[in-house]
Chains A and B, each alone.
Chain A
Amino acid sequence: MAVGQRTPDDASAPAQGWGLNTWDSPWLNFKFLLGAGIVLLILLFGLVGPFFWDTDLAYTGAGPLNKPPVWAEGGLPEHPLGTESNGRDMLAQLILATPSSLKVGFLAAIIGMGIGMALGSVAGYVGGWWDHVIRTLSDSAVTIPALVVLVVIASYVQMTDTTAMALILALFAWPGPTRLVRSQVLTLRERSYVRMAHLSGASALEIMFVEMLPNMLPWLAASLTGGISAAILGATGLEVLGLGPTRVPSLGLIINQATTNAALVRGLVWWWLPPIIILMVIFVGFFLMTIGLDEIANPRIRQFSSTRRERTAAGELPPVEPVEDGTAGEEEAALEVDDLHVHYFTPRGEVIAANGVNFSVRKGEILGLVGESGCGKTTVAMAILQVVQPPGRIVQGAVRIEERDLVSLSGRDLRRVRWRDLALVPQGAMNSLNPVTPIREQMADAILAHENIGRAELEQRILNLLNDVGLPERVIDMFPHELSGGMKQRVCIAMSIALNPQVIIADEPTSALDVVVQRVVAQTLLEVKERLGVSMVMIGHDMGLQAQLVDRIAVMYAGNLVEVAPVESAFAEPLHPYTQLLIESIPSIRERKPLNVTEGLTHDLRDPPPGCIFQFRCKHVERICRERRPELVERDDDHLVACWLYEPERHSLIELEEA
């Protein structure tokens, strides 16, 4: 089913949980359930009430006048909630009025929703002229103030019962759902599973109900509960003004009669307050349902509040365990990553996205960090930059630039190091520029955050930077949406070299671009590097591209580095079986060979196996591989690999242990 689809990038985007089991279902949202419970209770009061209380007492002259509730002085047990100025029993009135107020709301919202779904799906699915007409109509209908027109209508049309009222209210309940359904259909239509269904010959109705409706459900439900409370509010407003049906009891009518009889001044609290309380409880109930449904529909909101809750529950964060600065001692290192551990704290366990990652980038070199999607390479990049997103966290390790550990820095100290020493060329250049400000401002604020320079100098510097990456000067005043993908990426490169940083992290800088533009961007990166002598970490999964760009390559698998080697020897003589697999899978024009790839991870990242991380996919696996994890060891000149294959003593090692 479509609902279960998830991005394969499991490590960097922790499971958002469309329920693996029922107890995990997002529908079990506390706010939603509490709200639904409240509304049900109120409904029950109106439905069961008539069996326990004589509703005939709700009519004029049924009892004595203006008696307070039974607990107040002068109250009568036969009128437990008191009576009003016409001798009507308050309890009986409330029992009759509550369900009729709810009925109006439900009826109006459901009719509106029905119209909205029909119009919205036609507009979204059929498109063209229909879409234009429906969109124009619903756009201008939203602009018309509902209550005014309602009041005007109500003053001309005598509403005899609640159904008439609901029909009139429904006139204003359709534009919201129409717009919602239209935009949902438009987004869902582009999803691959809907296109698949279309190609496989499913009818429009089938696609609508089988593929689209389940995905829209939380949104529709939120719109429905919002619509119900809006309709109840509209109806009650009319009733309070005395413009609703006057012969049918309703909560608004009670308030109207109380205010017109000066119940507030006369201190007849029990007349006007109970209907207000019931209405407030109803509105609170629907409100809770609506915001609960919003959380269900929008996983981002859900994740935001749950990470906050976890953070609060865990109290203060434990300090990150520092690492002794002993082994790394490479003198010409620009960047050192030392025993880095990053975990994602998901509701279903800790995902280990980086497990003791160790590498250094030498001055002036490009280090390629490669691995398949979900291996944790982007997580490592984010950890170097100190922007691991919650619920992820660096739990151990150090990231050093010029002897300074970035992990231990925070606040102002960290901000000072950022961009000045360590810049980023982001993965999604498409969305990495602020859409509402011109390029000038976005480049300027990076510079001005770290340097104090005048206007003219600033302008000249930005123009030079644009020039450096081969962009025309007019780009400075353009907005991101006016640039092509390749131009945006070059703006990002220009921005990254603005402060002449020590290290630039390039996170798959070309992956979203077409092949020709990839060339241009890669070329730009190389030129920049040659000219400035900057060190780079180039993250990517395209082995072919890496082979041409990088000096050394680091291969990552399931959160672990498995091989680090100069690019020539890595390609000529790959040592780790996983690296061999990656290189074999580079397609070649000269020969056609079968793709020899078993897709994806074979173990759960929350619970890595003892021993080698690659054991389930490795064809050379031995006993020691299942029991002990191999260390990253230098096996050849500057060629490090974490694999037992190259340990001559491996058999004796395991026997030694047994002895």
Chain B
Amino acid sequence: MRGLTKEYVLQRFLMYLLTIWLGSTLIFVIPRLAPGDPVSEMVGRLSLDAGYIENADKLIASWKARFGLDAPIHVQYFRYWGNVFRLNFGYSLSHFPTEAWSMVSRALPWSLGLLTVATVLSFSIGVTVGSLMGWRRTPRWLQMILPSSLAFTAIPYFMFGIMLIYLVAFELDWLPATGAYSRRVDPGWNLPFIKNMLSHAILPVVSIVLTSMGGWALGMRGLMISVNNEDYFLLAQVKGLSPARIFFRYGVRNAILPALTALALGLGGLISGSILVEFIFAYPGTGYTLYQAIISQDYTVTQAIANLIILVTATSVFLLDLLYPFIDPRITYKRTMR
């Protein structure tokens, strides 16, 4: 098949492994660089709460053994990798009998659902607006209206979220402010629950879409303007093609390529960028779980989520790399030329 050469796939795959290795190692190293260790700190907190704990040293030692923190650092490192591969991150420290991974997998669908919708909406609206803004043949009235859609671009999404909560949820009382669904409905595939779930998702989605689509639009506008000046764009006009065909096959088709790379990077953010939105809206996704884990110093859950995010981001970039030669036939050629 055209496009995917063996060297290219291999090179991208090595890059993928390198990214995961770097990210996960960072997550392994950072806690161990910090003064003190989690177990002593936790026992210290316990003793603060209880006033005094008997045999604190023994407790610390036995817990350290249990979590494997007494082994030499390289042994810990190899064990850590074994656990990462098996998605086994141990028990949650704050919700003890629950496993860290099951806390994460419970939160995951909420984040994925919320952010997939938000990202797809903001990407498609933004790219459409930007393409039209960067095209000379766009009707003038549209050229006048389009920039107004950029109004919220400069505002960080979580601040916009706070204002939306205040206005729409508290002042107007139109939509629920926080959470993913109300306590009074039964979770399941029934109509009341789905309606309730959707009404909870509107505000977070709106705050993400309105603040992030402008970025896509501006980027796409610049790319479109560049394409407008290309020789092949001119030739397409001279060929007498319909404006729609020139716009899509010659304009957008070429201009969207760099935007797709940015989208793949953003897909990793499906899970991570949500921390603040989920915090503001108390939405029970991975971001909010990560926040709570950090506040309650639940190291195992923190590690599980951080690793998951790195894995997802790296995977989406890798998948895009594999898809890219089909979208842009030049790419493998260029890479192998170097």
Contact = CB atoms under 8 A, between A and B. Distances in A.
Interface of A: 136, 139-145, 147-149, 151-153, 155-157, 233, 236-237, 240-243, 255, 259, 264-265, 267, 269, 272-273, 276, 279-280, 283-284, 286-288, 291, 294, 298, 300-301, 304, 308, 312, 385, 387, 389-390, 414-420, 423-424, 426-428, 430-438, 445-446, 449-450, 479, 481-482, 492, 495
Max chain A Cβ within 10 angstroms of own Cβ: one of B27, B159, B309: B159
B291 interface: yes
Nearest to B297: A155
Interface in B272-329: 272-273, 275-276, 279-280, 290-291, 294-295, 297, 302, 305-306, 309-310, 313-314, 317, 327-329
14 contacts: A143-B313, A145-B273, A147-B272, A237-B276, A273-B163, A294-B222, A387-B238, A418-B238, A419-B240, A434-B236, A436-B254, A436-B329, A446-B240, A481-B329
Contact of B240 (A417, A428, A431): A417
A280 B18 CA distance: 38
B241 interface: yes
Contact of A450 (B18, B240, B276): B240
A469 B165 CA distance: 67
Contacts of B195: none
A264 B291 contact: no
B8 to A, nearest CB: 15
B55 interface: no
B158 A240 contact: yes
Contacts of A427: 231
Contacts of A449: 239-242, 245
A148 B306 contact: yes
Contact of A445 (B165, B239, B268, B327): B239
A291 B268 contact: no
A467 to B, nearest CB: 21
Contacts of B309: 145, 148
Contacts of A304: 134, 136, 225, 228
B258 to A, nearest CB: 12
Contact of B249 (A144, A437, A481, A482): A437
Nearest to B302: A152
A423 B245 contact: no
Contacts of A481: 329-330, 333
Max chain A Cβ within 10 angstroms of own Cβ: one of B134, B228, B329, B330: B329
Interface residues of B, number: 80
Contacts of B140: 312
A276 B228 CA distance: 39
Contacts of B275: 147-148, 151, 237, 241
Given A140-B18, A241-B279, A423 B249 contact: no
A237 B294 CA distance: 14
Interface in B133-158: 134, 136, 140, 143, 153-156, 158
B236 A140 contact: no
A479 B273 CA distance: 38
Contacts of B153: 287
Contacts of B329: 435-436, 438, 479, 481
Nearest to A148: B272
A428 B34 contact: no
Contact of B238 (A240, A291, A419): A419
Contacts of B105: none
Nearest to A139: B15
Contacts of A241: 275-276, 279, 291
Contacts of A438: 329
A275 to B, nearest CB: 9
Contacts of B187: none
Nearest to B328: A436
A606 to B, nearest CB: 23
A481 to B, nearest CB: 5
A145 B166 contact: no
B313 A280 contact: no
Contacts of A482: 333
Nearest to A144: B23
B234 interface: yes
A438 B272 CA distance: 39
Contacts of B62: none
A445 B159 contact: no
Contact of A428 (B136, B159, B231): B231
A465 to B, nearest CB: 14
A269 B171 CA distance: 11
Contacts of B177: 264
A156 B327 CA distance: 42
A315 to B, nearest CB: 11
